[in-house]
Structure 1
């Protein structure tokens, strides 16, 4: 095994060093490859496949090396999260803007949508409050969302980018459409 290892050691070193920047880690990985190959030599099917087998062991050892690395620094213990939830305020403001449009929906669609989206009830509790089965409540909420979307599309023009909706403007509608 040692003579075969010497034949492939330089090539394996080159292979590993192209994938690992730390020269000390390259030596450690080569040592691990040799140990794994030596202890699992009985698994080698034929001597002709030794080179490929060593490269597979080297590849797996490199992957193990990267899995063990910490890609981040630990945060200090005394770090405190800021209590700045501007998203919550924005959601409340948006809910107040959307409430009149939801109120324009027929009651059988407006109520489940209001409970699910504005008040945050689960679909199970919506089913219990409205006397529906769970699947009935789920269907009602989904149909409500579709009807609400249709109403929104009839009332507003939306500009959509990679981040989602980036801008909107009210449409000029006929007097028959409530917006």
Structure 2
């Protein structure tokens, strides 16, 4: 193994130097390659593939080098993380506006929508309370959602992020619509 290693050591060194930005680590990596090759020589299928096998070990050792390296500074222990839910306050403020906006809808759509969305009543129970068929209740809730969305889009500009609505700004309105 030593004679074969001497034949390939210079080429492997050049291979490692082109892939590692730390000059001091090149010799360490070459040493690791030699140790791994020596201890796993029994896994080599044929002598003809020794060079390719050594390059594969060198490649894997380089990858291990980069995996274990920490390219960042440790953060101080007393560092406080920012609140992860940045849009929570905006959603809470917006939720206070929902009731009055739902009240602006006709009673035909406002009542089923309020029951379904604000009170969490099942659509079957809505149908029973309002004397409608299940499909009629579902239809009114769905149409109420559409009309409610149209009303919200007419009254507010929304900023939407990964967490949903992160901010909103009421539109200045010259119409008779209450926002």
User: Aligning the two structures, in what range does the TM-score lie when normalised by the shorter sequence?
Assistant: 0.5 to 0.7
TM-score (norm 1): 0.60
- 1:17 and 1:95, CA in 2 relative to 1: closer, same or farther beyond 3 A? farther
Give distance in 1, aligned partners of 2:147 and 2:37. Answer: 65
Give the aligned partner of residue 31 of structure 1.
Answer: 31
Give the aligned partner of residue 3 of structure 1.
Answer: 3
Specify the structure having the higher radius of gyration (Cα).
2
Contact 1:102–1:114 (Cα < 8 Å) also in 2: no
Give distance in 1, aligned partners of 2:142 and 2:71. Answer: 41
Alpha-carbon distance, 1:98 to partner: 4.3
Find 1:156's aligned residue among 153, 156, 168: 153
Q: Deviations over 1:7-43 (max 9, x none)?
A: 2222222222222100111111111111000000000
Q: Deviations over 1:99-150 (max 9, x none)?
A: 55566556555545446xxxxxxxxxx6xx7598xxxxxxxxxxx7997467
Kindly report the root-mean-square deviation, in angstroms, between the aligned alpha carbons of the 2 structures.
4.3
Q: Does 1:41 align with 2:38?
A: no
- 1:113 and 1:19, CA in 2 relative to 1: closer, same or farther beyond 3 A? farther
Alpha-carbon distance, 1:47 to partner: 0.9
Tell which deviates more after alignment, 22-31 or 104-113: 104-113
Q: Deviations over 1:25-81 (max 9, x none)?
A: 111111111100000000000111111111111111111112212233221123234
Alignment: residue pair count: 153
Contact 2:33–2:54 (Cα < 8 Å) also in 1: yes
Give distance in 1, aligned partners of 2:168 and 2:39. Answer: 64
Give the aligned partner of residue 21 of structure 2.
Answer: 21
Which SS does the other structure have where 2:76 is aligned?
coil
Give distance in 1, aligned partners of 2:60 and 2:13. Answer: 14
Give the aligned partner of residue 54 of structure 1.
Answer: 54
Report matched runs for 1:74-113 at 5 Å.
Answer: 74-81=74-81, 87-100=87-100, 104=105, 110-113=114-117
Report matched runs for 1:116-127 at 5 Å.
Answer: none
Structure 2: where are the runs of 5+ without partners? 125-140, 172-177
- 1:162 and 1:78, CA in 2 relative to 1: closer, same or farther beyond 3 A? closer
Contact 1:156–1:168 (Cα < 8 Å) also in 2: no
Give distance in 2, aligned partners of 1:146 and 1:62. Answer: 61
